[in-house]
């Protein structure tokens, strides 16, 4: 081994390295690792602190794309790896209104860490094109326990786009702080959502001309992505800041003080749509010709838009709020919710109806219009007023009838245009039986196999989802997919001779009739036949895992009822039928019973799920319910010679 | 006057056309692409591919009168679909495409059931903004790769969509090698296909290595499309496929194994990219060249570690025993047993589980075998 430096120099360097002040930070969190590994066993990185500080400034000379009030969020995270030498990755979103600046990472030795940055368009499944962009930031972390300071700044050109702050992150945070530095010239309202059950401390301190409002929470676990999780806004604690007004040189300017101001801005954006209804006249005349009543005319236009305008969303800049002109949507035969709502409004207006643009937050959002913020809504529909009654037309739905409403908008408040004013109303909410599924089976046993026929009737959401799925399947795969759906993908059940109904009918329930053969449902033991009458075992596999972190969102409210008549084979009599079982609560219920009718057995079952979201607090009761259902399902009918 | 003209004509004949004019691609549109009706048997399909054509032109680049190591590759793709259900309408309502080169472009037409042709204004296509990592920048920027997307307006069931995509790529044989990108694919597409054609037109000194499987058509020489010159010629090869059913999504079905498939690769004939005296472009159907394979892997024989030495010694011992037992009758048997022997040792080394085979008995307790495993375990610890 050749030594390049004399040993004495090496010893000196080593001494210097060991005594430099930066190294004391290197081991700062080593003693915490065991504790964090116990508290957050599945995490690789813990943030010892994450602080967002929001500052506001007045823009003396705003450009055309800027507003008078700007905002910036300075974020500093102290990341501590719980494992050695990880590569940390973060995604920073930006768009035309928000820029990301000063991204910096400093290691425990106070040296800048090189950052890999990859930025580009961000695509969401349902949006064809938007101005949303994503920067993926990557940098290496060192040995476990060594803290890295990761900072960046988000700059908002217009304060109206500054809305939600969530406490939870992709990683656990030991101390999470959100601080608003509100200057005296700014009137701001900070709204709290889903704080119940979380120990979030709020302080307000006046520091000269600035009021510092700070929210702090400790040891907040990481957000966990799980299937069927409701939108974050529904269950996670968060803040929405409402910038109500600002004063400059003694003049008070209102921003979003209440819903009137929010509507005022929406209305001003929509004033520039540039509708030219001329090219729509022919189609409107064709659609309402031979329609006798106003309702038939509205239906004709509403259904044409549903059937012929594809959903393709452009949310580029202001197009996230401004509908595309009706003539463009009509010509292109595509549009997003706003484009479809505006086309409906324009066509219905041409047909002589009072039709209006309408803003709404879907069931993904827990807000109503008492919150004057851009985060209050995420959807646009059209309201038509017929003889004083409001009908809400959602052009993005498929196969939905007039006066019927999808689960996602039921019960939600709507903001309806009314010239310079606005109207507030609410979409009707339907009980679970709107989505009723009725199954009627007639079964017989032959050669240890069950054969028979079934009629399945679908209503409401159940019906619409079957119609939509059937329409979206490739022609040549429709029969196979339908049979698969009707057998519940159960390989023991063969579906035959399906009488295909009109899948496009919006008014009548969807009824499917077919024959079936079920194998492996009859067990012969000596003189006895053990028979499984209900092989569907609906909801039997819906037990919530003990480690699930999020509430569970069902696709819809359910009302499922079935009636099965099983003929007793010649030479056999009914030896045993399971006891009836009934269990109900405000959110769900089950009722199942077998009736011995001598030559046949009648099996009836009804399951109702009244609420589309199953809260975590209800998981234990739900799992007990599922266990009871399964006990009932697993008991079999016994026929004996 | 007549004499002057004749002299000029003779002079021209002797002096000028020694270089063949470079052929172009994408100019011939076969009659099959003009079809609007689909066969009765495919009426219930979601969509039908009426025509599909991919053309490639490989030409040598010239600088100051001399051929260089540069090759220009032009690609022209032409596809025509009939859309027959809502699924197809949704699927084709947005069109994503990639072009390479400054002249790269796409042309898109919709043919309505009335016969009216509507050309889509490609100016409204949106380029997907992507930040290319630093390391790739020179390549990407040189290639001018563009990822584009466009929403197709007014699409209805019964419409025919017809689009072409042209790209051009400069390939430097000095840096990228003399073997161009290899391609392998099935001729069974996601939709039934009425007509498909693949065509390669190559300058002197190139060949297309081509193999077809499971009944896929063979490649043919097209003398009419070939261009001959004194200094440079372009020879054209193609293969056609018609009336092809769509691929089936079945369990345990591997498309390339079960359906008519082709693999091809255009290569330069010689290692000297500046050599102009190479022969005409041709087709190589020979498949695996054992000498070339040997050259590729000969170096591996020099790879010498305790594990390899032990493996070779053990395999030799095992094969010698087999041979003395009279089990190995020909070269094929030797190769087979050699493979099984090595596979067993490999699997036990990396998957740590016993492999049950007739070798098991023979291997168990063998000193050398244990040595190999031990050597490998030692290596892993390092």
Judge: A118–B88 Cβ closer than 8 Å, yes or no. no
In a domain? residue B311: yes
Handedness of CA A532, A533, A536, A541 (dihedral sign): negative
Q: Report yes or no: B137 at the A interface, CB cutoff 8 Å.
A: no
Question: Region A314-335: what's the mean pLDDT?
Answer: 91
* Average pLDDT value over all residues in chain B: 82
Is the separation of the CB atoms in A531 and A521 below 8 Å? yes
Domain count, chain B: 2
Q: What is the spatial distance between Cα A83 and Cα A224, in angstroms, rounded to a whole number?
A: 19
Same structural domain, B145 and B191: yes
In this prediction, residue B306 carries a pLDDT of 76
Say whether residue A279 is in contact with chain B using an 8 A CB cutoff: no
Q: Are residues B310 and B291 in the same domain?
A: no
Whether B58 and B173 map to the same domain: the answer is: yes
DSSP conformation letters of A104-133? EEE-TTS-BPP-EEEEEE---TT-SEES-E
> Are residues A72 and A153 in contact, defined by beta-carbon separation less than 8 angstroms?
yes
Give the orientation angle of helix A294-308 with respect to helix A281-288, to 10 degrees: 120
Other CB atoms within 10 A of residue A535 CB? 16
Strands (E), A480-587: 493-499, 510-518, 522-525, 528-531, 552-553, 558-567, 573-576, 581-584
Question: Which residues in A lie closer than 8 A to residue B153 (C-beta atoms)?
Answer: 331-334
Interface A:B, Cβ pairs < 8 A: 58
Q: How far apart are CA B263 and CA B265, in angstroms?
A: 7
Rounded CA separation A561/A592 (Å): 10
A375-384, B23-32, B333-342: which has the highest mean pLDDT?
Answer: A375-384
Q: How far apart are CA A395 and CA A313, in angstroms?
A: 13
Domain identity same for B258 and B341 = no
Instruction: Reduce the DSSP state of residue B73 to 3 states and report it.
Output: strand
B375: pLDDT strictly greater than 80: no
Domain boundary among B263, B295, B327: B295
C-alpha angle with apex A474: A473 to A476, nearest 5 degrees? 125
Question: What is the CATH number for B175?
Answer: 2.60.40.3140
DSSP label at A11? H
Is B40 within the bounds of a domain?
A: yes
pLDDT tens-place string over residues B1-14 = 444 443 333 333 33
B1 belongs to a structural domain:
no
Taking the C-alpha atoms of residue A514 and residue B181, their distance in angstroms, rounded to an integer, is 53
pLDDT confidence of residue A275: 96
Do B246 and B186 belong to one domain?
A: yes
pLDDT at residue B269, rounded to an integer: 76
Q: Is the dihedral of CA B210, B211, B217, B221 positive or negative?
A: positive
Q: Which of A384-398, B75-89, B283-297 bottoms out in mean pLDDT, i.e. has the lowest? A: B283-297
Contact with chain A for residue B121, Cβ under 8 A: no
Q: What is the ipTM of this complex?
A: 0.84
Among B295, B325, B348, the domain boundary falls at: B295
Q: Which two tokens stand for residue A464?
A: 């619409």
Asked if the A29-254 domain carries CATH number 3.90.1150.10, the reply is: no
- Pair B224, B370 in one domain: no
Which range has the worst mean pLDDT, A90-99, A579-588, B17-26, B56-65? Answer: B17-26
| The pLDDT value given to residue B277 | 52
Nearest CA to A412 out of A378, A446, A438 is that of: A378
Q: pLDDT value at position B21?
A: 66
Interchain CB contact of A554 with B (< 8 Å): no
Local confidence band at B369 (pLDDT 50, 70, 90 cut-offs): low
> Distance of CA A608 to CAs A260, A405, A558, A587, B310, Å?
40, 19, 5, 8, 69
Specify the pLDDT at position B132. Answer: 65
Residue B99 reports pLDDT greater than 80? yes
pLDDT value at position B365? 59
Summarize pLDDT for A481-539 with one digit per residue, the tens. Answer: 999 999 999 999 999 999 989 999 999 999 999 999 999 999 999 999 999 999 999 99
In this complex, the residue of B46, B126, B155 whose CB is nearest that of residue A333 is B155
**Same domain (yes/no): B238, B329:** no
Which range has the worst mean pLDDT, A32-46, A363-377, A605-619, B345-359? Answer: B345-359
Q: Which pLDDT score, from 0 to 100, does residue B42 have?
A: 97
What mean pLDDT is predicted for residues A228-252? 95
Q: Say yes or no: B179 and B262 in one domain.
A: yes
Cα B269 to Cα B13: distance, rounded to the nearest angstrom: 32
pLDDT at B367 over 80: no
Q: Is B149 on the interface with A (CB under 8 A)?
A: yes
> Of B255, B250, B163, B200, nearest to B57 (Cα)?
B200
What's the CATH class of domain A259-426? alpha beta
Q: Which of A230, A425, A396, A231 is nearest to A311 (CA)?
A: A396
B69 and B166 in a single domain? The answer is yes
What b/e readout covers B92-128, taking b as 16+ CB neighbours within 10 angstroms? bbbbebebbbeebbbebebbeeeeeeeebeeeebeee
Domain boundaries, chain A: 29-254, 259-426, 432-640
Structural domain containing residue B333: 304-381
Most confident of A59-63, B5-9, B166-170: B166-170
Taking only Cα atoms into account, the Rg of chain B, rounded to an integer number of angstroms, comes to: 28
Between B167 and B314, residue with greater pLDDT? B167
Task: Give yes or no for A535 touching B (CB within 8 A).
Answer: no
Q: What value does the mean pLDDT of chain A take?
A: 92
E strand residue ranges, B177-309: 183-186, 193-203, 206-213, 220-227, 234-244, 261-268, 282-284
Instruction: Yes or no: say if A100 and A72 are a contact pair by the CB < 8 Å rule.
Output: no
Task: Identify whether the C-beta of residue A445 lies closer than 8 Å to the C-beta of residue A531.
Answer: yes
> From the CA of A559, how many Å to the nearest CA of chain B?
30
The beta-carbon neighbor of A128 closest among B90, B129, B151 is B151
| Residue, of A463 and B280, whose pLDDT is higher | A463
φ/ψ region of A631 (left if φ > 0, alpha if ψ in -120 to 50, else beta) reads alpha
Give mean pLDDT, residues B47-74. Answer: 91
Bridge partners (DSSP) of residue A451 are A444, A517
d(CA A392, CA A337): 13
Predicted confidence (pLDDT) at residue A228 exceeds the cutoff of 70: yes
Q: Please tell me the distance in Å from A484's CA to the nearest CA on chain B.
A: 15
Sheet architecture: strand order including A210-220: A98-106, A148-156, A69-81, A45-58, A173-183, A210-220, A201-207
**What is the arithmetic mean of pLDDT over B28-48?**
95
- Counting residues of chain B whose pLDDT is more than 90, the rounded percentage is 39
Quote the distance between the C-alpha of residue A278 and its chain's center. Answer: 38
The answer to whether the CB of A70 falls within 8 A of the CB of A101 is no
Distance from CA of A166 to the nearest CA of B (A): 28
Q: Say whether B128 and A310 touch across the interface (CB within 8 A).
A: no
Tell me the pLDDT tens digit for each residue of B242-268: 999 999 888 888 889 889 999 988 888
Q: Which fold has domain A432-640?
A: Jelly Rolls (2.60.120)
- The SS3 call for residue A423 is strand
Alpha helix (H) residue ranges in B240-330? 255-258, 290-297, 306-324
Task: Collect all residues of chain A within an 8 Å Cβ-Cβ radius of residue B45.
Answer: 474-476
Contacts of A306 in chain B (CB under 8 A): none
Average pLDDT rounded to a whole number, residues B318-334: 86
């Amino acid at each position: 081994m050749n030594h390049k430096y004399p040993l004495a120099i090496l010893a000196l360097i080593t001494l210097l390295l060991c005594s430099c002040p930066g190294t004391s930070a290197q081991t700062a969190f080593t003693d915490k690792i065991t504790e964090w590994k116990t508290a957050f066993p599945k995490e690789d990185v813990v943030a010892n602190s994450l602080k967002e500080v929001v500052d506001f400034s007045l823009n003396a000379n705003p450009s055309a794309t800027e507003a008078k009030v700007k905002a910036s969020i300075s974020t500093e995270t102290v990341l501590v790896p719980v494992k050695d030498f990880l590569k940390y990755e973060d995604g920073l979103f930006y768009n035309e209104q928000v820029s990301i600046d000063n991204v910096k990472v400093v290691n425990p030795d106070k040296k800048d860490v090189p950052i890999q940055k990859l930025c580009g368009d961000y695509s969401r499944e349902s949006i064809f094109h938007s101005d949303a962009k994503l920067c993926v930031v990557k940098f290496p972390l060192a040995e476990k326990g060594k803290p890295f300071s990761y900072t960046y700044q988000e700059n908002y050109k217009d304060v109206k786009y500054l809305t939600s702050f969530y406490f939870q992150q992709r990683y656990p945070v030991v101390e999470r702080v959100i601080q608003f530095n509100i200057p005296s010239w700014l009137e701001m309202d900070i709204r709290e959502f889903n704080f119940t059950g979380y120990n979030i401390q709020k302080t307000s301190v006046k520091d000269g001309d600035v009021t510092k409002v700070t929210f702090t929470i400790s040891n907040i676990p990481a957000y966990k992505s799980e299937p069927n999780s409701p939108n974050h806004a529904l269950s996670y604690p968060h803040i929405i800041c409402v910038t109500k007004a600002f004063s400059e040189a003694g003049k008070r300017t209102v921003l979003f003080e209440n819903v009137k101001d929010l509507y005022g801005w929406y209305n001003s954006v929509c004033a520039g749509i540039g509708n030219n209804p001329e090219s729509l006249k022919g189609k409107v005349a064709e659609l309402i010709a031979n329609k006798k009543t106003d309702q038939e005319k509205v239906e004709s236009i509403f259904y044409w838009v549903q059937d012929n305008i594809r959903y393709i969303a452009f949310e580029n800049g202001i197009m996230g709020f401004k509908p595309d002109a009706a003539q463009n949507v009509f010509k292109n035969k595509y549009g997003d919710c706003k484009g479809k709502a505006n086309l409906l409004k324009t066509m219905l207006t041409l047909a002589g109806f009072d039709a209006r643009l309408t803003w709404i937050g879907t069931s993904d959002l827990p807000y109503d219009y008492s919150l004057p913020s851009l985060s209050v809504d995420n959807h646009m529909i059209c309201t038509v007023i017929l003889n004083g009654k409001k009908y809400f037309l959602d052009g993005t739905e498929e196969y939905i009838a007039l006066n019927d409403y999808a689960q996602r908008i039921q019960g939600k408040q709507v903001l309806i245009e009314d010239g310079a004013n606005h109207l507030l109303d609410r979409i009707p909410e339907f009980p679970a039986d709107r989505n009723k599924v009725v199954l009627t089976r007639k079964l017989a046993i032959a050669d240890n196999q069950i054969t028979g026929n079934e009629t399945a009737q679908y209503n409401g959401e159940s019906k619409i989802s079957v119609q939509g799925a059937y329409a979206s399947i490739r022609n040549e795969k429709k029969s196979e997919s339908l049979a698969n759906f009707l057998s519940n993908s159960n390989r023991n059940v063969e579906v035959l001779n399906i009488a295909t109904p009109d899948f496009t009918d919006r008014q009548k329930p969807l009824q499917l009739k077919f024959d079936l053969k079920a194998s492996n449902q009859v067990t012969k033991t000596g003189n006895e036949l053990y028979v499984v009458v209900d092989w569907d075992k609906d909801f039997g596999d819906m037990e919530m895992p003990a480690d699930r972190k999020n509430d569970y969102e069902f696709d819809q409210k359910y009302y499922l009822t079935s009636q099965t008549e099983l003929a007793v084979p010649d030479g056999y009599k009914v030896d045993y039928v399971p006891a009836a079982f009934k269990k109900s609560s405000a959110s769900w219920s089950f009722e199942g019973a077998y009736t011995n009718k001598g030559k046949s057995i009648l099996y009836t079952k009804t399951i109702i799920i009244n609420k589309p979201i199953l809260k975590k607090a209800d998981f234990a009761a739900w799992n007990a319910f599922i266990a009871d259902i399964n006990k009932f399902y697993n008991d079999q009918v016994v026929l004996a010679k | 006057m007549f004499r002057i003209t004749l002299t000029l004509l003779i002079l021209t004949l002797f002096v000028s056309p020694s270089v063949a004019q470079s052929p172009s691609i994408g100019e011939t549109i076969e009659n099959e692409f003009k079809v609007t009706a689909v066969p009765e048997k495919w009426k219930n399909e979601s969509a039908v591919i009426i025509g599909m054509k991919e053309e490639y032109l490989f030409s040598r680049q010239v600088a100051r009168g001399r051929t260089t190591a540069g090759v220009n590759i032009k690609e022209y793709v032409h596809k025509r679909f009939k859309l027959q259900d809502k699924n197809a309408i949704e699927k084709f309502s947005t069109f994503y495409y990639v072009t390479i080169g400054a002249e790269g472009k796409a042309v898109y037409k919709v043919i309505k059931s009335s016969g009216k042709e509507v050309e889509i204004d490609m100016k409204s296509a949106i380029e997907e903004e992507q930040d290319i990592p630093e390391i790739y920048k020179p390549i990407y920027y040189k290639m001018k790769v563009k990822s584009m997307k466009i929403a197709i307006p007014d699409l209805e069931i019964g419409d025919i969509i017809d689009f072409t995509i042209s790209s051009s790529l400069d390939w430097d044989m000095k840096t990228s090698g003399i073997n161009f990108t290899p391609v392998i694919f099935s001729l069974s597409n996601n939709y039934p296909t009425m007509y498909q054609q693949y065509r390669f037109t190559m300058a002197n000194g190139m060949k297309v290595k081509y193999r077809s499987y499971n009944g896929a058509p063979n490649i043919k020489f097209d003398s009419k499309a070939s261009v001959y010159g004194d200094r440079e010629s372009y020879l054209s090869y193609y293969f056609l496929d018609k009336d092809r059913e769509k691929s089936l999504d079945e369990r345990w079905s591997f498309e390339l194994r079960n359906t008519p498939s082709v693999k091809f690769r255009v290569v330069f004939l010689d290692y000297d990219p500046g050599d102009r005296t190479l022969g005409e472009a041709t087709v190589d159907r020979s498949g695996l060249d054992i000498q070339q394979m040997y050259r590729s892997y000969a170096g591996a024989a020099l790879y010498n570690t305790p594990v390899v030495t032990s493996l070779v010694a053990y395999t030799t011992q095992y094969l010698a025993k087999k041979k003395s037992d009279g089990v190995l009758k020909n070269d094929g048997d030797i190769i087979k047993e050699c493979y099984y022997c090595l596979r067993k040792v490999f699997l036990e080394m990396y998957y740590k589980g016993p492999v049950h085979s007739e070798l098991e008995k023979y291997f168990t307790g063998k000193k050398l075998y244990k040595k190999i495993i031990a050597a490998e375990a030692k290596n892993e610890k390092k």
